[in-house]
Amino acid sequence: MSRSLEGQSVAIIGLGASGIAAAKLALEQGGKVYVSEVRTDKAACTGASQLRQIGVEVELGPHVQRKIASAETIVVSPGISPNTRVIRELTNNGISTISEPEFAFRFFNGPLIAVTGTNGKTTTAMLIAQFLKEDGQNVALGGNVGGGLAPPASELALGENSPSWYVLELSSFQLSGIVDLKPAIGVLTNLAPDHLDRYESVASYYCDKAHIFDNADEHSRWILNGDDTDLEDLIQGVPGERFYFSEKYTDREGAYLESDMLTVELTGSKYTIIDKEAVTLIGKHNVQNVLAAALTAKLAGAECSSISTGLKEFSALPHRTQKVVESNGIVWVNDSKATNITATISGITSFDSNLLILLGGQDKGQDFSPLIRPLKENNSKVLAFGESGIRLHDQLKDEVRVRWVKGSFENLMQSASEWAESGDTVLLSPACPSFDMFTDYEQRGERFCHLVKKLVEDSGD
């Protein structure tokens, strides 16, 4: 649905990867492009220099409200909170903005598969892309994938080829700025409370997720978690076909396990994909991700053989129940991406017993009591750390074995090496954001991996 920007003014708020890609796309489409970024650090200066060299106007420092407001199109990067002054003033003055994926979608030349949800969306999006590529289809993967695993949506729109499918992972922040974006296939992995530092309530967070349905029609196809009642409530009255994935057998069209075989059932035909035991990804939650991805790929035309081959070749993603090393009978697993309680529960229940779990990070005031039952069921012991460490310790101490580690992440890792015993799995699955100690969950996970390998080397194993 390509649209020319010839002669039109485009303002972009934010100079991260998404902002840079959107600026390049707007310039390529003939727009007069202005980028505003409050940061003045080295990374911002480097990005600004790159864009200025190709003819983009960039200002670093305080936003010039008047200049942004005068643009015909205003694109907001996902890291910019709606509570920031610049966005509030635009909203109060009745000036609309759009998200970067919405902007990119206007220049896509192929159908879109959009993946959202609270947890599992990156793995699911990457599995879909892998299955379709294995099937010989030309796939453009991007969006909110992060970690350098895939580019922003606008970078995909800069490509010369028309792919068979665009596959975008979309966050709630990106979905909040939707106008025309319309998935041919929309995938919703699950819903759980998250980002409550940015949203005033769980309902407002779910409301942003629901924007994926804004442009639905009778031709839309929706892949839904059959075990998530919140999702079912969210899609009430939305047009289009619905397909469900669940580990349990369902009489609805979709994907499920039958005698431990991953099975897809569509239009009366049943397709057996692969034995559950052949799924090499750690974690029971990854079975659901595989079911969702297999169902989506099948609807997108992939052969069963392509899905099973793609699954065998798919490796665990960094920071998502990623096995780092096994030494002296102890397995070390990096699940730093688990920045909320629901994700951590998935991590805990991925293992049968004998966990030493590292919990903590930025304290957002969340209730940690839902962790108690899975921790007890898995015979887990806990090291609590970071800003939330003392509160975690106090909430868990009467129910599970827990120690509070003061000080640095290095102190935490030394304590883990001293408490872990042969047969244990040491799992970094923090249930909290990383911003008290690190720039993001990726840096936290990388530090974990580095220190694990150093501990193993020092032990002489």
Structural domains in the chain, sorted by start: 9-96 (3.40.50.720), 109-313 (3.40.1190.10), 322-456 (3.90.190.20)
The contacts of residue 43 (CB under 8 Å, 6+ apart) are none
- The DSSP line for 187-216 is EE-------TTTSSSHHHHHHHHGGGGTT-
User: What length is written for the chain?
Assistant: 461
Instruction: Return the pLDDT at 320.
Output: 82
- Predicted pLDDT of residue 312: 86
Q: Residues 243, 248, 251, 252: what is their CA dihedral angle, to the nearest 10 degrees? A: -10
Percent of the chain scoring above 70 in pLDDT: 97
| 356 compared with 202, residue with greater pLDDT | 356
Burial label for 166, CB within 10 Å (0-12, 13-18, 19+), is buried
Most confident segment among 82-86, 103-107, 143-147: 103-107
Specify the amino acid at residue 5. L
Q: What is the mean pLDDT of the chain?
A: 92
Specify whether the CB–CB gap between 137 and 165 falls below 8 A.
yes
Yes or no: say if 388 and 405 are a contact pair by the CB < 8 Å rule: no
Tokens representing residue 365 in the block: 């005031």
User: Measured in Å, how far apart are the chain's first and last C-alpha atoms?
Assistant: 58
| Residue 161 DSSP symbol | S
For residue 242, the cross-strand partners are 222
Specify the 3-state DSSP secondary structure of 406: coil
pLDDT of amino acid 290: 94
pLDDT at 81: 83
Tokens at 78, concatenated: 């996902």
pLDDT at 196: 57
Q: Does the pLDDT at position 92 exceed 70? A: yes
Quick check: 153 pLDDT over 80? Answer: yes
Query: What's the pLDDT score for residue 164?
Result: 97
Q: β-strands 139-143, 73-76: how paired?
A: unpaired
* Per-state percent for the chain, helix, strand, coil, to nearest 5: 35, 20, 45
Q: What is the pLDDT of residues 323-367, one digit of tens each?
A: 899 999 999 999 999 998 988 988 898 887 789 999 999 998 889
Neighbours of 269 (CB within 10 A): 7
The whole-angstrom separation of Cα 125 and Cα 143 is 10
User: Does 460 score more than 70 pLDDT?
Assistant: no
Q: Per-residue pLDDT tens for 419-442? A: 999 999 999 999 999 999 999 999
Order of strands across the sheet that contains 165-169 = 139-143, 165-169, 112-116, 185-188, 221-225, 241-245, 254-258, 261-266, 269-275
Higher pLDDT, 250 or 68: 68
Q: What percent of the chain has pLDDT over 90?
A: 73
pLDDT at 461: 60
* pLDDT for position 386: 97
As a whole number of angstroms, the distance between CA 385 and CA 404 comes to 6
Token couple for 278 = 């052949």
pLDDT band at 292 (very low <50, low <70, confident <90, very high): very high
**Model confidence at 194, in pLDDT bands (50, 70, 90)?**
low
pLDDT tops 70 at residue 1: no
**Closest to 284 (Cα-Cα) out of 305, 254, 255, 257:** 257
CA distance 211 to 297: 23
Phi and psi at 128, nearest 5°, equal -55, -50
Q: Which are the contacts of 448, defined by CB distance < 8 A and separation ≥ 6?
A: 324, 334, 336, 409, 413, 428
Residue 10 three-state SS: strand
Instruction: Identify the pLDDT of residue 124.
Output: 95
State the pLDDT at residue 256.
94
Please, which pLDDT band fits residue 198 given cuts at 50, 70 and 90? low
- Euclidean distance between CA atoms 285 and 225, whole angstroms: 12
Whole-model pTM?
A: 0.82
pLDDT higher than 60, residue 70: yes
- The residue whose two tokens read 């694109």 is 75
